[in-house]
Structure 1
Amino acid sequence: MTATGGPEVLVAQDVPAPRPQPGEVLVRNEAIPVLYPETLVRSGAFPIPIPLPLIFGTQAVGVITEVGAGVDAALIGQRVAVASNGFGTFAELVSVPAESTVRIPDGLPSADAAAVMMSGSVAIPLLETAKLTGTETVLIEAAATGVGGYLTQLAKEYGAARVIATAGGPEKADRAREFGADEVIDHLDPNWPERLREILGGATIDVVFDSIGGESARTVLDLMTPLRGRMLSYGLLSGGFAQVSAMDLVMRGLTLIGCSGADWLAGVAQARGAALERAAAGSLTPLVDRVLPLDQAAHAHQLIEDRAVKGTIILQP
């Protein structure tokens, strides 16, 4: 990443190979997920306190080829998922703390593991936090891709009685239904909350998994169950988090749960192994859009910003 700006700031370059420091492992990457939040970092929407240029990327799947001092050499040859708080994963090799890696289950392809490792591990704590009762109606936004796609796959297992979903366009709507949604609304229509009101027909929504954010979140509040309705806010596909005030919630007797911050991310990290195990067992379908060569990272970012993906783009060195 040479600067903040458009996708073109991601440039392929040769750099010295990293070496593992004490407590670290060196991983030869096989599959690197391209994540929506990373596009916000690249654009400058989320400033980072690290000098540029830097090797971009925060997650990868690969094989441990070398270990630093204090790390068990038996890890060499093990296939792992990698999460890096200091970037560096858009590369053939990355060196990370050994404790930040998670073993990949046997039989799970690297591209599938890379697709599941973030979005799947976000969906699981979201559903656990929601504490669904088995009788409730839920709304899952952007339910055909990313976190929403995994939420839709798992919602009824975790206690949703009725799943209403939003998706962008007919093809994604069909996919959301395949994942388990009972009704699907096209959120490309700016009046989609009115369509939601029609579908409910006087009923209310108990739980909203809000990944769109912005102004639509306030409109949805009027369709939620008073006193026990809860909105889990975790995304900003509209460009900003839910525009909801304390007064909006107090006057309706609703709860908004912010799913972000260090403690939340620690829970996501703890769920990474469970998401990978589910994918290996077949109870969670990995959502891979396409596999591109590593040097097409800029193109991958452009596809994400154009909303032209139906899953995770994987970069392959």
Structure 2
Amino acid sequence: MQAIVMTGAGGPEVLVAREVPEPTPGAGEVVIRAEAIPVLFPETLLRSGAFPMPAEPPVTFGFEAVGTVTATGADVDTGLIGQRVAVTTLGYGSYAEYVCAPADSVTPVPDDLSAADAAAVLMSGSVALTLLDTAALTGSETVLIEAAATGVGAALTQLAKTRGAARVIATAGGPAKLAQARKLGADDLIDHNDPDWPSRLPEILGDATLDLVFDSIGGPTAAALLDAMTPLRGRVLSYGFLSGAPAQITATDLLFRGLSLTGCAGPHWLARVAAARATALHQVTSGALVPQIDTILPLDQAAEAHRALESRTPLGAVLLRP
């Protein structure tokens, strides 16, 4: 079968199409014939060497895939064979025609949902729902969503008002993404390509303050938001660092403002995200969440997919199709 092999850490060119043996499921595993494979921003960090790979190269790359179960291993219900599902690997192996994954990662795909739409929201939708559950919005709060036009930010922007946000202030990079964030439901917009963008918040907020920040940018700008937040109940949910570094906020920064920061990462957090996958797919079938797909490329163009993602230009998910 064809697969995309990461030959070593580096640029997109380290992702090479090769013929490899079809996987055989072990105990507790399934194999699916992949129909749609999401290309995720965290994968670009793994490929580049910014984060350690869970397996040494050369190795078939990729986190997630959507397709039809073709085989099951020992201790797995054979009734899964023929079912359309989404799966999550152990950190490698999904950029391929056939994908082996733990059976406990299987999420059934509703009959009226396409493989592409399921792949587009599997990660972004489940993370957004988990963030919103953690936020416990009250129905009267003002929230800031960073990088609101694509990925998790786009899902948050679509869902926030249905989950208790009264006003959504969104950041995005450039006119096209700002227009996209507006289309998705943002009330106010800030171009975060301006490094001094937090200084615009007082003008936009007026007499209001930020009750909640969904922080995906991190870095030094995170601390610049704190004076615009609601004393005693303002909170930051930090779940990404598109700037290249986590939020540079100290306990002192929070303590003297009466604010809180929750780190949304680690195994316990990821277990909650995994539990939200089915709900994310049903949010699409209910119409609450509209998949945003920018590009679908053939599997052998995985390197080009990574270049597109790193350019920060796509206005939706980038998918691979075997």
Q: TM-score range by the shorter chain?
A: over 0.9
Residue 213 of structure 1 contacts residue 235 of structure 1 at CA under 8 Å; is this kept in 2?
Answer: yes
Tell me, yes or no, if structure 1 residue 206 matches structure 2 residue 211: yes
Partners of 1:29 and 1:234 in 2: how far apart?
Answer: 29
The structure 1 residue matched to 2:58, chosen from 23, 42, 53, is 53
TM-score by length of 2: 0.97
The structure 2 residue matched to 1:301, chosen from 297, 302, 306, is 306
Q: Name the counterpart of 2:14.
A: 9
1:280 CA drift (Å): 1.7
Tell me, yes or no, if structure 1 residue 131 matches structure 2 residue 136: yes
3-state SS of 1:177 partner: helix
Q: Name the counterpart of 1:36.
A: 41
> Which is further off, 190-199 or 28-37?
190-199
Q: Name the counterpart of 2:3.
A: none
1:49 CA drift (Å): 4.4
3-state SS of 2:272 partner: helix
The structure 2 residue matched to 1:120, chosen from 106, 116, 125, is 125
3-state SS of 2:182 partner: helix
Partners of 1:97 and 1:190 in 2: how far apart?
Answer: 42
Q: How big is each residue's C-alpha offset from its partner over 1:53-98, in whole Å with a ceiling of 9 and x where there is no partner?
A: 1100010001001122222222111000010114100000011221
Partners of 2:217 and 2:175 in 1: how far apart?
Answer: 18
Tell me, yes or no, if structure 1 residue 153 matches structure 2 residue 155: no
Partners of 1:87 and 1:287 in 2: how far apart?
Answer: 24
Partners of 2:316 and 2:202 in 1: how far apart?
Answer: 28
The structure 2 residue matched to 1:230, chosen from 235, 246, 260, is 235
Residue 32 of structure 1 contacts residue 90 of structure 1 at CA under 8 Å; is this kept in 2?
Answer: yes
- The residue identity in structure 2 corresponding to 1:206 is D
Residue 2 of structure 1 contacts residue 54 of structure 1 at CA under 8 Å; is this kept in 2?
Answer: yes
Tell me, yes or no, if structure 1 residue 262 matches structure 2 residue 271: no
Residue 33 of structure 1 contacts residue 313 of structure 1 at CA under 8 Å; is this kept in 2?
Answer: yes
Q: Name the counterpart of 1:85.
A: 90
Q: Name the counterpart of 1:95.
A: 100
Partners of 2:202 and 2:145 in 1: how far apart?
Answer: 15
Q: How big is each residue's C-alpha offset from its partner over 1:238-290, in whole Å with a ceiling of 9 and x where there is no partner?
A: 11110101111111110001000000000000000000011122210011111
Residue 120 of structure 1 contacts residue 275 of structure 1 at CA under 8 Å; is this kept in 2?
Answer: yes
1:22 CA drift (Å): 2.1
Partners of 2:131 and 2:56 in 1: how far apart?
Answer: 33
Partners of 1:268 and 1:296 in 2: how far apart?
Answer: 29
Partners of 2:154 and 2:59 in 1: how far apart?
Answer: 31
1:100 CA drift (Å): 1.2
The structure 2 residue matched to 1:180, chosen from 182, 185, 204, is 185
The structure 2 residue matched to 1:285, chosen from 265, 290, 300, is 290
Tell me, yes or no, if structure 1 residue 108 matches structure 2 residue 113: yes
Residue 106 of structure 1 contacts residue 280 of structure 1 at CA under 8 Å; is this kept in 2?
Answer: no
- The residue identity in structure 1 corresponding to 2:299 is L
- The residue identity in structure 1 corresponding to 2:208 is A
- The residue identity in structure 2 corresponding to 1:70 is D
The structure 1 residue matched to 2:245, chosen from 240, 245, 251, is 240
In structure 2, do the counterparts of structure 1 residues 99 and 217 end up closer, same or farther at CA, with 3 Å as the change threshold? same
In structure 2, do the counterparts of structure 1 residues 284 and 49 end up closer, same or farther at CA, with 3 Å as the change threshold? closer
5+ residue gaps, structure 1, are: none
**Identity, % of aligned positions:** 63
3-state SS of 2:18 partner: coil
Tell me, yes or no, if structure 1 residue 66 matches structure 2 residue 71: yes
Map 1:13-32 → 2, pairs under 5 A = 13-32=18-37
Alignment: residue pair count: 317
5+ residue gaps, structure 2, are: 1-5
Moved over 4 A (4+): none
The structure 1 residue matched to 2:200, chosen from 188, 195, 198, is 195
Partners of 1:169 and 1:300 in 2: how far apart?
Answer: 21
Partners of 2:196 and 2:96 in 1: how far apart?
Answer: 42
